[in-house]
Amino acid sequence: MVVGREAGTHTIRPFETMQEFRSCVELQEQTWGRGFSERVPTAILKVSQILGGVAAGAYSENGDLEGFVFGMTGIRDGELVHWSDMLAVTEHARDAGLGTRLKAYQREQVLARGIETMFWTFDPLQSRNAYLNFAKLGIVVREYAENMYGETDSPLHRRVGTDRFIASWELASTRTSCRLAGGEPPTQPPGRAVRVLSETGGHALPQPGVPDLFSEEKEILVAIPTDIVEVMDTEIRVAVRWREATRNTLVHYLTKGYEVQEIFPGERTSDYLLVNPGMP
């Protein structure tokens, strides 16, 4: 018997039939573009389940696939870990917490396998995704991968490359448990935090200022556009400048021992909070 988990009006359970695996591939193309070359095929989805991975869908009351999560289990730096590779929700089912419920299901499955650390990647410029990851799930980020997936054919990656944060999710931590239980994250950055990247102001679109790479404060703030898709649709060159400015800033401070702990949403820009735990 395959045990599923009720998620609001959705049931989350592992894929079983070949048609369900094929529906997952179709949802990938709906999300990242028809013919997306990085899609995970049915064979890999199926094999991942055999080797301790997770390939599961969220099904509506009508039996329609409206979301999925996929990840693989393996060894990283000598530790058994899980790498969450993909998560998607159909457009009409978004903004209702289904993405969070899919991650919670994945966490339960991975913990049952004796694994306590999960990794995945996400674009640092995508503020909505970042808010889910930090505020709702309780991740931290200590790694930045430049152009991790190279140039892809997805329309979501238009000329801004595939730079990625690597999320680190400590599955059994108090922080994770509290956030998943609905614990509220801080709503304002600490008053002592210093801004090292801000927008310049005075423009229709938010535009990045010059990064300050000389701060030695324990807590710093790094701005990103709140809606990078609008920036990309309106003026791609501004989006490229945001990529360059945030890459230079984040790589510099992460290399110095900082970690990203929160994101604070704003109307035009949102702020990442970076903290250096090694500083007094």
* Domain identity same for 3 and 101: yes
Question: Residue 206 domain-assigned?
Answer: yes
> 276: burial class by Cβ within 10 Å (0-12, 13-18, 19+)?
middle
Does an H or E element contain 250, and which?
helix 236-255
Q: Given this model, what pLDDT does residue 1 score?
A: 29
**pLDDT tens digits, 186-204:** 999 999 999 999 999 888 9
Question: Residue 11 domain-assigned?
Answer: yes
Q: Given this model, what pLDDT does residue 243 score?
A: 97
* Domain identity same for 4 and 93: yes
Tens-digit pLDDT string for the chain (280 aa): 234 555 568 999 999 999 999 999 999 999 988 888 889 999 999 999 999 999 999 999 999 999 999 999 999 999 999 999 999 999 988 888 899 999 999 999 999 999 999 999 999 999 999 999 999 999 999 999 999 988 755 555 557 889 999 999 999 999 999 999 999 999 999 999 999 999 998 889 999 999 999 999 999 999 999 999 999 999 999 999 999 999 999 999 999 999 999 999 999 999 999 999 999 9
* Domain identity same for 107 and 199: no
- Contact present, 118 and 169 (Cβ < 8 Å): yes
Mean of the per-residue pLDDT values of the chain: 93
- Contact present, 259 and 143 (Cβ < 8 Å): no
Question: Residue 4 domain-assigned?
Answer: yes
Q: Which of 113, 146, 167 is the last residue of a domain?
A: 113
In degrees and rounded to multiples of 5, residue 6 shows phi and psi of -70, 130
The C-alpha atoms of residue 172 and residue 70 are separated, in whole angstroms, by 20
Question: Residue 119 domain-assigned?
Answer: no
Q: Which of 78, 113, 148 is the last residue of a domain?
A: 113
- Contact present, 101 and 57 (Cβ < 8 Å): no
Question: Residue 280 domain-assigned?
Answer: no
Question: Residue 185 domain-assigned?
Answer: no
Question: Residue 8 domain-assigned?
Answer: yes
Question: Residue 165 domain-assigned?
Answer: no
CATH of residue 3's domain is: 3.40.630.30
- Domain with 247, as residue range(s), is 194-275
Mapped onto helix, strand or coil, the DSSP state of residue 200 is coil
**pLDDT tens digits, 201-243:** 888 999 999 999 999 999 999 999 999 999 999 999 999 999 9
pTM over 0.85: yes
DSSP state of 261: E
Q: Which of 113, 135, 158 is the last residue of a domain?
A: 113
In degrees and rounded to multiples of 5, residue 40 shows phi and psi of -90, 120
What is the number of alpha carbons within 13 Å of residue 171 lying toward its C-beta?
23
Q: How many domains does the chain have?
A: 2
Mapped onto helix, strand or coil, the DSSP state of residue 19 is helix
